[in-house]
Amino acid sequence: MDGEVGYYHHDGDDDLGCLIAFSDDSWTSKGRASMGASVDDLGRRTGSGPVTMSILERLAARHADATFVGECAMGSRQNGCRRLDAWVLLKTWSPPTTIGYEVKVSRGDFLGDRKWQEYLPVCHELYFACPPKLIQPEELPQDVGLLWTAGETRLITKRRAVRREPDPVALCRLMTYVLMSRTRVVADMFEAQRPTKREFWRRWLAEVREDRAMGYEVSQRVRRRLNEAEAKARRAEQERDRLTAVREKLVALGLDGDASSWQLDRRFGGQDVRLREIARLAGAIAELAVKER
């Protein structure tokens, strides 16, 4: 399915869906091949010049989220039917909308064109797209729109097209051509919607940045937890050393290092009263000595 792009259509009124893979001369935002390659390939097949292809590229980018079909025939090619430079089906049901585009790159081509009115029955809106000032809005019927190129990639709307209801039979023939000649129905949604290389690498870089940020946050939390654990370990070691020193002093006094507090009080309880009395008398003697001076 190289050079094909995918489009998923779902009717919100039921649970049915249709997976369609558009061939490489139509483009959507799900294109597996780059838009430039598809446009160049279309230009080689149709003989379109670089200015025309540049405008088609801008139109394709303008409708990146829609179904865009370049050089779209209005029916069976065997009958020599007309071709729109581009035909678009917007992804909306409120209301369903199709747009036709006629690209002009010279005044002679515009003035000598007598066929563009035949495009009106197959689209809800019709636009001319051209370089700046090549066509003026007043040169077109009031219901036909006009786009001018601007800068290297943009299109500006000089006049909006007026919506009309297309001919159901003519539109059906065009859409039958799109389904029969420009699409391939596939069974796997992921095959149809596989991203382009650019989208793949963009997502990959975004995931790398996200992984790095997440890794940094996790490493900081682990470091904080480790520092807290090390501080607790140091405090525990200090408490252990203090208790060891007390035990060693008790052993030096001839006591059991594992003796409990009530055992120590039982042994030294009476002596503790006498020691406090001696300390009181020593304090009184010291006060008398200070007064005599």
Could you report the per-residue pLDDT of 230-273, keeping only the tens digit for each?
Answer: 999 898 888 888 777 777 776 676 655 555 556 556 655 555 55
pLDDT number for residue 181: 86
Cα–Cα nearest to 111, from 82, 87, 136, 132: 136
DSSP-assigned states of every residue in 186-199: -S-HHHHTPPPHHH
Token pair listed for 198:
């650019």
Per DSSP, helices labelled H in 85-196 are: 107-111, 168-181, 189-192
Distances (CA, A) of 234 to 93, 168, 247: 69, 84, 20
Q: Which residues contact 11 (CB under 8 A, 6 or more apart)?
A: 17, 93
pLDDT number for residue 54: 87
pLDDT number for residue 254: 63
Position with higher pLDDT, 148 vs 265: 148
Q: What is the pLDDT of residues 166-220, one digit of tens each?
A: 999 999 999 999 988 888 776 666 666 666 777 788 888 889 989 889 988 999 9
pLDDT above 70 (res 7): no
CA-based Rg of the chain, rounded to a whole angstrom? 43
pLDDT number for residue 8: 33
Q: How many residues are recorded in the chain?
A: 293
The burial of 107, by beta-carbon neighbours within 10 Å (0-12 exposed, 13-18 middle, 19 or more buried), is given as: exposed
Q: Which residues contact 122 (CB under 8 A, 6 or more apart)?
A: 74, 84, 87, 98, 100, 166, 167, 170, 171, 173, 174
CA triple 126-129-130, angle to 5 deg: 150
Q: What is the pLDDT of residues 26-77, one digit of tens each?
A: 444 333 333 333 444 444 444 457 888 889 999 999 998 899 999 999 987 6
Token pair listed for 215:
């890794």
Decide the pairing of beta strands 26-27 and 17-22: unpaired
pLDDT number for residue 108: 94
Average pLDDT over residues 9-18: 36
User: Under DSSP, is residue 178 helix (H, G, I), strand (E, B) or coil?
Assistant: helix
Token pair listed for 277:
């009395």
pLDDT number for residue 68: 93
Q: What is the pLDDT of residues 93-145, one digit of tens each?
A: 989 999 999 999 999 999 999 899 999 999 999 999 999 999 999 999 999 99
pLDDT number for residue 148: 96
Per DSSP, helices labelled H in the chain are: 35-46, 50-62, 107-111, 168-181, 189-192, 197-252, 261-292
Q: Would you place residue 79 in the very low, low, confident or very high pLDDT band (cuts 50, 70, 90)?
A: low
Position with higher pLDDT, 186 vs 164: 164
The single-letter code of the amino acid at 178 is V
Q: Would you place residue 155 in the very low, low, confident or very high pLDDT band (cuts 50, 70, 90)?
A: very high
DSSP-assigned states of every residue in 249-273: HHHHTT--TT--HHHHHHHHHHHHH
